[in-house]
Amino acid sequence: MRFTKMQGIGNDYIYVDCVRNRPPTDPASLSRAISDRHFGVGADGLILICPGERADARMRMFNADGSEAEMCGNGLRCVAKFVYDHGIARKPRLAIETGRGVLMIDLEVTNDKVSRARVNMGEPILDSAKIPTTLPGNPPVNAPLRVADRNFEVTCVSMGNPHAVMYVGDEFFQIGERDLVAELGPKIEHHSAFPRRVNAHFVKVHSPSEVTMRTWERGSGITLACGTGACAVCVAGVLSGRSARKILAHLPGGDLELEWSEADTCVYKTGPAVEVFSGEWPTA
C-alpha cells in the first residue's frame, strides 16, 4: 500500500490516496499499526483521502488508537495540499468533505506546490448537548471541573469534535519528570462530564491577540499541534473574555493564525502543510 506522511506544525498523519487506489479493509487496525512510532511509520493517526460526493475529496481520519474522529484541522490542510499537489483537483480553492460537513480551503501556492492553507472551519458548536458535555452552561464558560485534586475553569466548544479549554500557569508548559499535561490530560479526556471523551487544551494568554497552548488529544495523547483545538481556543478566549477574535496561537510544533469572524461567525485557521516522505506499507 502506497502512503504519504505529511505534517501541519508537527501534527503528523499517514495519508492514503483512496481516490485512485482501493481503500484499506480495516482502517482502524491499520491506523494502530502504522502510527506506532517504534514498530510502524510513526504518526498521530491515519487519514484516508476518498472520492467526494459533494466536494473535491472526502477525508476520513483515524486516531493512533484506531478510533475514528470527526475532524482534524491540521490534517485537513494536508489533505488539501495532497489533493492539489498530486493532481486530484488543481484549484486554488478546494471543497473537502469532513465529519462536520463540507469545508472550504484557500491555498497559498509556491513553486507549484501548496505551502500554506486558510481553512473555513465553519461555525463553532456551542450547544452543550451537541458538544457534548454535561458541565453547566450552554455552552459551559468557566465551568468548574475537579480532576485529581485540581480545580479548573473549563470552557467547552465543538469544532465538529469536542474540546475543553483551560487557562493555566507556567507549570503546564514545563516538560520534565512530572509533565502535568501527560498526567492530567487522560483524566480529563475520560472524565464523566464528556460522554464522547474530549480534547484537553491548556492555555496561557500573553495578550488579547497572542496565546500559547498545549494539547492532550483524544485518542492520540500529547501532540505537537491540534488545529481544531486552536480554533476552539480562539472561540473560548472570546467567550470567557480573555482574548480577541483574531489571535496568533503558539503550539509546540509551530504557529497558527485564527479568527472567529463577526461577519459570518465562522472560524478561519491559517497555517502550513508539509509533505515529509512517501513509502510502501506491506499488506497481506
Catalytic residues: 72, 226
Return all residues near 152 (Cβ < 8 A) that are at least 6 apart: 144, 145, 146, 166, 168
Q: Are strands 101-110 and 68-69 parallel, antiparallel or unpaired?
A: unpaired
H-helix or E-strand containing 91?
none
Cα distances (Å, whole numbers) of residue 33 to 44, 154, 199, 281: 11, 34, 22, 10
Strand partners of residue 246: 259
CA 266 to chain centre: 16
Evaluate whether 12 touches 223 at the Cβ level (below 8 Å).
Answer: no
Neighbour count for residue 101 (Cβ, 10 Å): 13
Query: How many whole angstroms separate alpha carbon 252 and alpha carbon 273?
Result: 16
Return all residues near 194 (Cβ < 8 A) that are at least 6 apart: 132, 133, 134, 162, 164, 188
